[in-house]
Amino acid sequence: MTTKAKRKADTPAPRTRRRPSTVSRNSRQYVVDENGRRIAVVLPLRQYRKLVEAMEDLEDLRAADEARAEGGEAIPFEVVEARLRAEGKLR
């Protein structure tokens, strides 16, 4: 027996885990663990994208509110754009 084959024979078989399964309730799909606990939700891609977009919009609003609260001088978009182009950070 080669060393490689012996090493393979001495290695215990990996423990297998049951894969989570999907359960549908009231047109909602959940991924449940082996104990039946909901651990994830299955969404149509369109709905997921809408949720991500809404979350990003809320993050933008929060950042804008924080910037306003800090005070300071507002920089026009055109000025920021020109600076970024000059620094090679924007095409």
Tens digit of each residue's pLDDT (9 = 90 or more) over 75-88: 899 999 999 999 99
Condensed to tens digits (0 to 9), the pLDDT of residues 35-59 reads: 999 999 999 999 999 999 999 999 9
The secondary structure of the chain as a DSSP string is --HHHHHHHHSPPPPP-PPPEEEEETTEEEEE-TTS-EEEEE--HHHHHHHHHHHHHHHHHHHHHHHHHH------HHHHHHHHHHTTS--
Residue-range domain boundaries for the chain: 44-91
